[in-house]
Structure 1
Amino acid sequence: MSQVEKKGDVESQTDAPAQPEIKEATSGTPSDDDDQGLDDNSKVPQMSYLKLFWFFFYNFGLFAWGGPVAQIALIKDKLVTKDKWITLPRFQRVFSVYQILPGPEAAELSSYLYTLAGFENKYFNASFRSLQPIVAAMILRATHKIAEHSVRKHDTKKVDPFLIVAAVCTAINCALRLNIFISLGLYGVLYMFIARRLWIPAGVIFVLQYVGYAIYVVFRGVPSPVSLALGVARTPSLIHLFVLGLVSGTLSFGGAYTAIPFVQVEAVLLGAWLPQSVFIDGIAIGNILPAPLVIFATFVGFQGAYLENGSVGNGFAGAVIITLGMFFPCFMFTIAGHNLLEKLVRNQFLASFFDGLCGSVIGVIAMIAAQILKASVEGTLDKVKDKTLAEAVTGTGQVGPAAVLYVLALAVLYKFTNKYAPLFLVIAGAVAGQFIFVD
């Protein structure tokens, strides 16, 4: 037998098993009952780079209205529930692992048009005033979608009361100004004890978090709103913006939502170089556009650098530099450390830790959703004292319509699940703002 024939036999032997695997990848349906998401049970079809790009662009980019929470909900619904690329337990485990990693989901620039429209343009501001409560409704609805599976047991599919407690208590801790990262780590460890039925250690840890908080309050007082601030961006210079992005990206455990309070405290509260109303508009833009929420940091960088000297070029430089800072931890941890992350996802000992952390993340996102709701409905009430009587009356009178818009938007999102519903709300809200909020 010739070498060519031998080589052909070897190739046919090695290639033979591959055909059933490809067929299974395109038609197989992984079962959630096969494992707890610890094995490589993915059934991902083989695609060309072009098809893969178009698939994600069309399904999760073009229609990702509502920011990263909506995007995650879309990914879960399409790839897990409908197409069955991976099982739900594995999706939850991967989601949990990536929540403990710093870094945003993605970024793009959009601040220039905002600046061109002008901060004092009443028509522009009216549309944004109308869109803010609508965006808040989108975030809450998407949070509910994610929570539907994040607080369930993998084996029985029943709601796990301990994961609900983790979510609720994390939200309460956020309201008490307890550091987010403490809650994430604490409830991950606590659920490890609960999963192993070690009730006494779990109970001790749960009680100690509030005992420790009470002791802190007695001796130091209630944590300040600027307790997260490190003072890395007291002025919006380019170097300060880069450091702000780098630190925010490094500390954004749980995704871009956990970076919101840190950027806010540095830019709005401590540095005071970015108005609160502009910051809220940045959050709205990050959720309105079909892009992940980290765009808000790019927006902050542009506005900060632009407001410093009025130069559009400096604004673009600030946007780019803060985005580079935000991206660096993301690429370093998720791409360079991919193999390590896969090991974490499939580690049986840490599985319960990630389940507890995932429940805790829901509490963080829910609290951020509540804060955005409050800010979007109240609008500029925080500045009423500095306005004339007529302006104060106008600002107060906008609260009612904003609340009505929120309720209506939430009703539409729950009634209509079509992917075009958020787009319709954005367009309708922008138009409605011209009739409701234009003086």
Structure 2
Amino acid sequence: MTSESPNITDAAKTWLKIGFLSFGGPAAQIALMHKVLVDETKWLTEKTYLNALSFCMLLPGPEAMQLAAWSGWRLHGVLGGLIAGLSFILPGAFVVLVLAALYAVFGTTPLVTSLFLGIKAAVIVIVLEALMKVAKRALKRQDHWVLAALAFAAIFFFGLPFPVIIVIAATYGYLTTRGTYEPAGDETRVPLAKTLKTAGIWLALWLVPLGGLWLSLGSGHLIVEIGLLFSKLAVVTFGGAYAVLTYLSQEVVINRAWLTPTEMIDALGLAETTPGPLILVTEFVAYLAGAKAGGLVMGLAAAFVGLWMTFIPCFLWVFTGAPYIDRLDRSPRLSGALAGITASVVGVILNLGVWFALHSLFGTVTQQTTGPLQLWVPELASFDWRALLLTVLAGVLLLRFKIGLFGLLGIMSLSGWAISQI
């Protein structure tokens, strides 16, 4: 923190401004916060900001939102962290809720279907770009390439659950890394009682409502199942939003059939157009699942539970771990475990891209199983040449001309409508 901190009112206004302007996914949001917090206001130093970014990238969940919460905590404690985190979440959450409600009513009309034809093509390329960025950062050793390949095979060909892949990759990284923790000479000890108190408060905020839903509605109720699933997502989804989407797609489309593949791809496309963290796609998914089961009221309840179970754990990780941020770089084995996780996430995101591509380019894709092996087999006769042409166009616009995400989705939706008129 710099020598002159803002008062909390000025900080709150700035956080709300960031929340409304945070389009474009994690990279754009992190760059926006750097511009405001380091370059313009100078509330944080470059070193402090980058250390915090490294810390948040090691946590499960959306790194950009957690970076905002940590920055607010650094400036004004827990209240500042809450203001920053909620300002980052709530504008986009409102927009996503409105879009989800509209989609539930109008999503199958010819006009909406034609617009989403282009958005689906854009999603394929967006995931490809994310894959390239994560791979460049994560695959620095030969064994990391092997981990990525094995993770892809495990989830794509054998349907191995995402949490299992994460545990195996973390264990490998931990056991194959040498070195011990080396404390710094000026290191300040954090009282254990204070850490446990912080963790206890946020665990209660997370798990007590979930337990109350379980006791009042029963374990088989959709709202409870959404709470349990999204709580699990909050624990195991290292590697950013696209890793979350892989696990979410595996659960809500393949294992539970709450959404169709088309609806899942549309959910991501809409989430890409809104401010706030991309993980708000969970709110969209929860609303659709609830609305299908019980209309508007059930959809709203499901969306609220989905938001709560997605983001309360984020505050838990940030507020509990923030005092220890400077110690992470001095723990080689922990860094090794997290490097293993990040490498495996590359394979997981590749699986997401292939899965999206198959369901976008072909009208019919079936899962065929032989023993433990599973294969997604497209029906060649259902190939959609329009989807391929739009995907190529999206690739040229994003990867060659570096067009902004918002502009890309606008152009692609109009292109989808135009080509559907042929």
Q: Does 1:97 align with 2:78?
A: no
Residue 151 of structure 1 deviates from its aligned partner by: 3.1
1:56-80, CA deviations, whole angstroms, 9 ceiling, x for partnerless residues? 7777863532x44x4477579979x
More helix as a share of residues: 2
Pairwise mapping of residues 101-120 of structure 1 onto structure 2 (< 5 A)?
A: 106=89, 108-109=93-94, 110-116=96-102, 118-120=106-108
Which of residues 297, 304, 314 in structure 2 aligns to 1:330? 314
Aligned partner of 1:118: which letter?
A: F
Cα gap change, 1:168/1:240 in structure 2, threshold over 3 Å: closer, same or farther? closer
Q: Which residue of 1 aligns with 2:303?
A: 319
Residue 192 of structure 1 deviates from its aligned partner by: 4.7
Q: Which residue of 1 aligns with 2:148?
A: 167
Q: Does 1:85 align with 2:53?
A: no
Pairwise mapping of residues 18-417 of structure 1 onto structure 2 (< 5 A)?
A: 62=21, 64-65=23-24, 67-68=25-26, 70-71=27-28, 74=31, 85-86=46-47, 90=51, 93-99=54-60, 106=89, 108-109=93-94, 110-116=96-102, 118-152=106-140, 160-176=141-157, 177-192=159-174, 194-196=176-178, 237-310=222-295, 312-340=296-324, 342-378=326-362, 380-382=363-365, 396=382, 399-417=384-402
Q: Which residue of 2 aligns with 1:386?
A: none
Aligned partner of 1:381: which letter?
A: T
Please report the RMSD computed on the Cα atoms of aligned residues, expressed in angstroms: 4.3
SS of 2:93's equivalent in the other structure is: coil
Residue 194 of structure 1 deviates from its aligned partner by: 4.8
Asked if structure 1 preserves the Cα contact closer than 8 Å seen for 2:51 and 2:326, the reply is no
1:274-307, CA deviations, whole angstroms, 9 ceiling, x for partnerless residues? 3332222112222333432222211122112222
* Separation (CA, whole Å) in 2 of partners of 1:161 and 1:281: 36
* Separation (CA, whole Å) in 2 of partners of 1:249 and 1:141: 24
Asked if structure 2 preserves the Cα contact closer than 8 Å seen for 1:150 and 1:359, the reply is yes
Aligned partner of 1:353: which letter?
A: A
Structure of greater Rg: 1
SS of 1:98's equivalent in the other structure is: coil
Cα gap change, 1:238/1:286 in structure 2, threshold over 3 Å: closer, same or farther? same
* Separation (CA, whole Å) in 1 of partners of 2:418 and 2:64: 40
Residue 126 of structure 1 deviates from its aligned partner by: 0.8
1:18-68, CA deviations, whole angstroms, 9 ceiling, x for partnerless residues? 9xx75xxxxxxxxxxxxxxxxxxxxxx966667766777777863532x44
Asked if structure 1 preserves the Cα contact closer than 8 Å seen for 2:390 and 2:416, the reply is no
Q: Which residue of 1 aligns with 2:212?
A: none
Residue 406 of structure 1 deviates from its aligned partner by: 1.7
* Separation (CA, whole Å) in 2 of partners of 1:77 and 1:146: 20
Pairwise mapping of residues 418-433 of structure 1 onto structure 2 (< 5 A)?
A: 421-433=404-416
Aligned partner of 2:396: which letter?
A: A
* Separation (CA, whole Å) in 2 of partners of 1:416 and 1:55: 32
Cα gap change, 1:269/1:304 in structure 2, threshold over 3 Å: closer, same or farther? same
Cα gap change, 1:302/1:173 in structure 2, threshold over 3 Å: closer, same or farther? same
Asked if structure 2 preserves the Cα contact closer than 8 Å seen for 1:189 and 1:353, the reply is yes
* Separation (CA, whole Å) in 1 of partners of 2:250 and 2:302: 18
Residue 122 of structure 1 deviates from its aligned partner by: 0.7
Residue 345 of structure 1 deviates from its aligned partner by: 4.5
* Separation (CA, whole Å) in 1 of partners of 2:304 and 2:318: 21
Asked if structure 2 preserves the Cα contact closer than 8 Å seen for 1:282 and 1:300, the reply is yes
1:145-171, CA deviations, whole angstroms, 9 ceiling, x for partnerless residues? 23323334xxxxxxx333333333322
Query: How many percent identity over aligned positions?
Result: 19
Aligned partner of 1:286: which letter?
A: A
Asked if structure 2 preserves the Cα contact closer than 8 Å seen for 1:102 and 1:251, the reply is no
1:99-155, CA deviations, whole angstroms, 9 ceiling, x for partnerless residues? 489998656142433443513311111111210111221221133223323334xxx
TM (norm. structure 1) is 0.63
Cα gap change, 1:150/1:239 in structure 2, threshold over 3 Å: closer, same or farther? closer
TM (norm. structure 2) is 0.66
* Separation (CA, whole Å) in 1 of partners of 2:220 and 2:12: 39
Q: Which residue of 2 aligns with 1:221?
A: none
Asked if structure 2 preserves the Cα contact closer than 8 Å seen for 1:129 and 1:433, the reply is yes
* Separation (CA, whole Å) in 1 of partners of 2:34 and 2:169: 26
Cα gap change, 1:149/1:308 in structure 2, threshold over 3 Å: closer, same or farther? closer
* Separation (CA, whole Å) in 1 of partners of 2:365 and 2:218: 23
Cα gap change, 1:173/1:338 in structure 2, threshold over 3 Å: closer, same or farther? same
Cα gap change, 1:344/1:426 in structure 2, threshold over 3 Å: closer, same or farther? same
Residue 191 of structure 1 deviates from its aligned partner by: 3.9
* Separation (CA, whole Å) in 2 of partners of 1:181 and 1:421: 33
Cα gap change, 1:284/1:89 in structure 2, threshold over 3 Å: closer, same or farther? same
Aligned partner of 1:289: which letter?
A: T
SS of 2:386's equivalent in the other structure is: helix
Asked if structure 2 preserves the Cα contact closer than 8 Å seen for 1:92 and 1:150, the reply is no
